[in-house]
Structure 1
Amino acid sequence: MTFVFLLLLILRIKFILMENQNQSESGTKHIIQSLLVNIAIAVAKGFAAFMTGSGAMLAETIHSTADCANQLLLLLGVKQAKKDADDEHPFGYGKSVYFWSFMVAMLLFSIGGMFSIYEGVHKYNNPEPVHNIGWAIGIILFSIVMEGYAMISNIVEIRKRKKLISFFRYLHVTKDSDLIIIFGENAAAVLGLFLALIALLVSHYTGDSRYDAIGSLCIGIVLIAVAIFLASEVKSLLIGESADPEILEIIHEIAKAENNITEVLNCRTVQQGLGEVLVCIKIKIVPDLTTQDISLLINAFENELRTKRPEVKWLYIEPDFQEWKTI
């Protein structure tokens, strides 16, 4: 029955993937890839936990199951972010993906991290022998290969997007919350699997199952640390973070090349979602321009900026003749 359910779910996911095959910028491809991997791994880990009675393997099973739920939430967030703007949400629903990314971090903290710590404490106080360790080792190695493949795919995608900045700097400044969440989950999973493998081996060769419980505790700590990092990064985007600094550089370049603009008095950018940016600009223009001249000037500015940075979805330009200071 379980395998029938998994087959139907995988077919449904493949249908979603077909719907999005021409929308690679939406970020769903790497989410679906990680979801498929985690479904297989969760089933395998659950079987290993049942066969061995290992607390570390049970913690890993819950971790992978939570990851599956997390990736479904990310898909929901990406889908909601594509909704058109309306009267109630004039700037669209782009930040939905940030909300669901934050929820994923919270679930990783609570379901993944806290449960693993609880299981570790419980198994440490009530140790049970670990048996059939061969099943666990085989499935852990299988999971490491699968999770490692997913993590490497994430790294390849990050390297494509990060341009000239360093890898770790990109993790901090990127607006692609979905990709960072998936990478964080996969990296935590790989580290957790190595911890589970070490805990099982030490427990087996020493005959002390408390080492298995310690492994579960360590996995929980890793998950909580990753969840706190991800929540902190997504919180900044959810509150309202400035867009790519490159946009501001392009704005100044356009203004400098226009003879009728003497200065960019002020500029504010806000990341509204995946590939959606709000820009507000106040420019100082030469005096004696007619209303029509100003209108043509602003239209030309907008067209050039949107041509160079199509993600600028909302753009407001205010002309002025005098200096303007931020209060």
Structure 2
Amino acid sequence: MSAESPKAIFYALAANLGIAIIKFAAAAFTGSGSMFAEAIHSTADCGNQLLLLLGLRQSREPPTPLHPMGTGRAINFYSLLVALLLFFVGGAFSVYEGIHRLIAREPLQYVYIALGVLGISVVLEALSLYGAMREIRAGTPNKSLWRWFRETRDSDLLVVAGEDIAALAGLAIAFVAVLLTVITGNPVWDACGSIAIGILLMLIALLVAREVKSMIVGESASPEMRREIDAFLRARPEIRSIISLITLQWGKEVMVAVQCEMIDYDHSRTMVEAINVIEADLQAHFPVVRWVFFEPDFVNR
């Protein structure tokens, strides 16, 4: 997902805003703990999407003497905040609400309204997830979802996809919990559904936080891009061998530091001109590469 077109975030924000309003109304009518937990979850998701939009905006700020490489990694910080909110506001609160309902044993009312709202919410969340999956497939059409999750450098899209998957799974749990409550007449099922939703949200939040933390610490460019950059440099006739190649993902952009042994040149100026051509061609071939640090060196043979 490009920083200029955060479509998946807007899809998720629109879906969660509508879902939160419907869920709160249904929770008030039915007294369902699972429904109330889902309403809190959707409200938290709305705030999460606003945080991601703020992070994207800040990540576009130009370089300054204090931040000479810009603020592209600001989006990773906001993505980590979202993961923490998903854990505490969504997950922990849902567990607390479920335990409270388990003790109080409050009966449900208007259960068919709850089931209808959950069905509508499933449709809206599925549309939001479809938008996120379309963005994912546009960039990595041949990867499994799990492999993309482990290798992606788009922290904002990672968070949106994680939220949507958690939301759909949570809705399925809430639907089953309310349905079992209707069939058995026992509100314990509804309370257990709220606890299960909370545990699910906390697990997904931990997975997302682990990936985002790795991005904050500093990750290389994606494995595919690093291999392509390496192949591009090895194919250059000006380069005899690559001594070292370092890539660093910086928000939506990439920094490349390369140490190479060049072919023999009669003059240092000629070699510098050749390096300038390599750098320009590299950035033209890989538009996301914003910085190139090129060091010619010798290999002791």
Match of 1:281 in 2: 258
Residues 247 and 147 of structure 1: is their aligned pair in 2 closer, same or farther, counting only changes over 3 Å?
closer
* Residues 1:245 and 2:223 are matched in the alignment: yes
Which of residues 285, 292, 299 in structure 2 aligns to 1:315? 292
Match of 1:219 in 2: 197
| 1:171-207 C-alpha deviation (Å, 9 max, x unpaired) | 1101111111111111111111111111111112211
Residues 289 and 120 of structure 1: is their aligned pair in 2 closer, same or farther, counting only changes over 3 Å?
farther
Which of residues 95, 109, 112 in structure 2 aligns to 1:131? 109
Please give the alpha-carbon distance, in whole angstroms, between the structure 1 residues aligned to 2:276 and 2:265: 18
1:160-309 to structure 2, matched below 5 A, reads 160-274=138-252, 276-309=253-286
Please give the alpha-carbon distance, in whole angstroms, between the structure 1 residues aligned to 2:235 and 2:27: 66
Q: TM-score, normalised by structure 1?
A: 0.88
TM-superposed CA distance for 1:228, in Å, is 0.6
| 1:79-101 C-alpha deviation (Å, 9 max, x unpaired) | 00000011001111010001000
Please give the alpha-carbon distance, in whole angstroms, between the structure 2 residues aligned to 1:71 and 1:320: 47
Indicate the percent of aligned positions where both proteins have the same amino acid: 40
Residues 229 and 263 of structure 1: is their aligned pair in 2 closer, same or farther, counting only changes over 3 Å?
same
Match of 1:90 in 2: 68
| 1:219-265 C-alpha deviation (Å, 9 max, x unpaired) | 00110011011001111111100002333334433433333321010
Residues 216 and 268 of structure 1: is their aligned pair in 2 closer, same or farther, counting only changes over 3 Å?
same
* Residues 1:120 and 2:115 are matched in the alignment: no
Which of residues 99, 103, 128 in structure 2 aligns to 1:150? 128
Unaligned runs of 5+ in 2: none
Please give the alpha-carbon distance, in whole angstroms, between the structure 2 residues aligned to 1:44 and 1:258: 59
Match of 1:58 in 2: 36
Please give the alpha-carbon distance, in whole angstroms, between the structure 1 residues aligned to 2:50 and 2:165: 18
Match of 1:3 in 2: none
State whether residues 269 and 278 of structure 1, in contact with CA within 8 Å, keep that contact through their aligned partners in structure 2.
yes
Amino acid across the alignment from 1:223: L
Please give the alpha-carbon distance, in whole angstroms, between the structure 2 residues aligned to 1:304 and 1:178: 29
State whether residues 33 and 150 of structure 1, in contact with CA within 8 Å, keep that contact through their aligned partners in structure 2.
yes
When structure 1 is superposed on structure 2, of 58-67 and 167-176 the one drifting more is 167-176
Q: Report how many aligned residue pairs link the two structures.
A: 301
